[in-house]
Chain A
Amino acid sequence: MILKIQSITKRFGGLVAVNKVSFEVKKQEIFGIIGPNGAGKTTLFNVISGVYYPEEGKIFFNNKEITKLDCYKRARLGIARTHQIVKPLNELTVLENVMVGACFGKTNASLKESILIAEKVLNGVGLTDKKDILAAKLNVPEKKRLELARALASGPDIILLDEVLAGLNPTEADEMLQVIQKIREGGITILMIEHLMHAIMKISDRIIVLDYGAKIAEGTPEEVANNPKVIEAYLGDPDLALKFIKSKENTL
């Protein structure tokens, strides 16, 4: 058990964004988080990565409590994340972006070492030919890959992927899924927020479903797909519900 979320509640004034959510993630698992828009998924990520502190509950990472630990220290411990809206370091080159990941994450590399690590990681995500280009000049899928590369370079034990497939066409999405599989095979645990139903159903070992900040289901993709509470939650969003039902057909 690498990550344990214990009854986490996060409030913003009167709004309860995350409501007593509990789950555990096993090492090298691919763990999916789904739910309608506004369900609190990104807020949950923000609590795990340390951007927010929860009002109630505890977080344990590798058996160490990190609930109120400084954000930057969590990276050192081995928690990396990507953002829903990518945050490239615009005026730095692609290589330099990834070097930052290698220098300040768990890897804690020296500047010289970080260059080698960065080059290796860029190779893995297919951005080697762009390594000396300014991050600002990349297109959206490339920026997503850069964000992933930067997270990988820090040598994490767990990566939090926030809608890493959004905005990608089916071919790009499939490539990204393969990259994610390879990452897991390399020993890293993956926690993924995704809206692309068929993708997350296909790749996850287990999934939890959030709705209005609370966990309404947890289990394997098959279990979750057949859970009436989940279908009801998504009926509020007919488009997603349709995708959901279609994705069920893929897992059968």
Chain B
Amino acid sequence: MKKRYTLFWLIPLIVGISLIPVVTNSVIYRETVFLILMYITLAVSLNIILGYTGYVSFGHIVFYGIGGYTSFYLMYKWGIHLIIAMIIGGIVSALVALIVGEAVLKLRGAIFAIATIGINEAIKSLVTNLPFLGGATGMFFNFKIYKTYGGASKAIWFAYYLMVIVTIVTLIASYLIKNSKFGYGLFAIREDEDAATVLGVNTKRFKSIAYAVSAFFPGLVGAIFFFKAGNIEPEDAFHLVKSIEMIFMVMLGGFGTLSGPPIGALLYERLKGVLLVNPLFKNLHMAIAGFVLLIIILFAPGGIVGSLRNKFKKLRGLLE
């Protein structure tokens, strides 16, 4: 079997970055790295349905929102511990993906993309109108909730460490899928779904599973983020722009690769961080992102990792 070394540098890199705030005991670094880890996890999850299976989920942020709301509600109403609430949040997201997928995965290409936007908007508007979820204003934590974790400050560090673990787990899951029979089935679906069926791939089931798995991890991320934030509202939880950012990160890094999405996420977050602080570029970051995306689509559709793999064949074992 071909040697695959990507995880050997990718995971230490993530761990290394994650240790910076710990070692420096800096809240600012922690916040930055937390965001980076979030973006990485979201991009890597989206890549499973987008990059591996070829189904363009434009409204993927909906699963982040569902996980966030489920988990927040469980903690808010019944004081459930974050870890359990988070896992339930992920499972609920995956279940919604399974149910919605039954219908929506029958669609192809751009129509599927539009339908996923529709799902995000539909669920956002549904949640906005459900009083027990706080309606349009959402829900707020009473700071008492953080007592179980040793106070607000400790709770946030706890959330941080949890995020690190979730990120690494997601990366490993992505790696395992890519190097499994299941993954090969997904690639076959992406390349030619009809040929895949004729070759014996149970495309319906594989797509469903891929969609559910790609929904589970954003659910976890949503749970952790909103726990840390202390409040949740529909605009934040189902923010369509975040969905597009996820797609951007996957395309920038390299669609369908293992290391592409994390690299894309890292670059995007840093770029955004730099631009938002600069007074001139602050309001232009959307236009700049659009411009960069256009350049990628027109001239380097494989993203950074894809282009590197094409140019430097020897690096392929390292850059999956």
Contact = CB atoms under 8 A, between A and B. Distances in A.
Interface of A: 49-51, 70-73, 75-76, 81, 83, 87-92, 96, 99-101, 103-106, 110-112, 114-115, 150, 154
B197 interface: yes
Given A91-B256, A111-B179, A76 B200 contact: yes
A87 B191 CA distance: 9
Contacts of B196: 89, 100, 104
B191 A91 contact: yes
A89 B191 CA distance: 5
27 contacts: A50-B197, A50-B198, A51-B194, A51-B198, A70-B202, A72-B202, A72-B203, A73-B200, A83-B195, A83-B198, A87-B195, A88-B192, A89-B187, A89-B188, A89-B195, A90-B191, A90-B192, A96-B184, A100-B196, A100-B201, A103-B181, A103-B185, A104-B185, A105-B199, A106-B200, A110-B181, A111-B181
Contacts of A91: 187, 190-191, 256
A111 B199 contact: no
Interface of B: 1, 179-181, 184-185, 187-188, 190-192, 194-203, 256
Contacts of B188: 89, 92, 100, 104
B164 to A, nearest CB: 30
B3 to A, nearest CB: 14
A88 B198 CA distance: 12
B193 to A, nearest CB: 10
A76 B199 CA distance: 8
B200 A75 contact: yes
Q: B interface, by DSSP: helix, strand, loop or mixed? A: helix
Contacts of A154: 199-200
A81 B192 CA distance: 15
Nearest to B302: A91
Given A83-B195, A87-B195, A112-B1, A104 B201 contact: yes
Contacts of B256: 91
B200 A105 contact: yes
Given A72-B198, A91-B187, 12 more contacts: A49-B198, A70-B202, A72-B199, A72-B202, A88-B191, A89-B196, A91-B191, A96-B187, A100-B184, A104-B188, A112-B1, A115-B1
B191 A92 contact: yes
A72 B201 contact: yes
B4 to A, nearest CB: 12
Contacts of A90: 191-192
A48 B294 CA distance: 45
A72 B187 CA distance: 16
Nearest to B205: A72
A111 B201 CA distance: 14
B108 to A, nearest CB: 15
A150 B181 CA distance: 15
A99 B191 CA distance: 14
Nearest to B191: A89
A50 B199 CA distance: 11
Enumerate the 3 nearest inter-chain pairs by beta-carbon distance, A residue then B residue, closest first: A75-B200, A104-B200, A89-B191
Contacts of B198: 49-51, 71-72, 75, 81, 83
A182 B181 CA distance: 29
Contact of B197 (A72, A106, A112, A115): A72
Contacts of A115: 1
Contacts of B202: 70, 72
Contacts of A111: 179-181, 184
Contacts of B187: 89, 91-92, 96, 100
A103 B201 CA distance: 9
Nearest to B187: A92
Contacts of B199: 72, 75, 100-101, 104-105, 150, 154
A71 B197 CA distance: 6
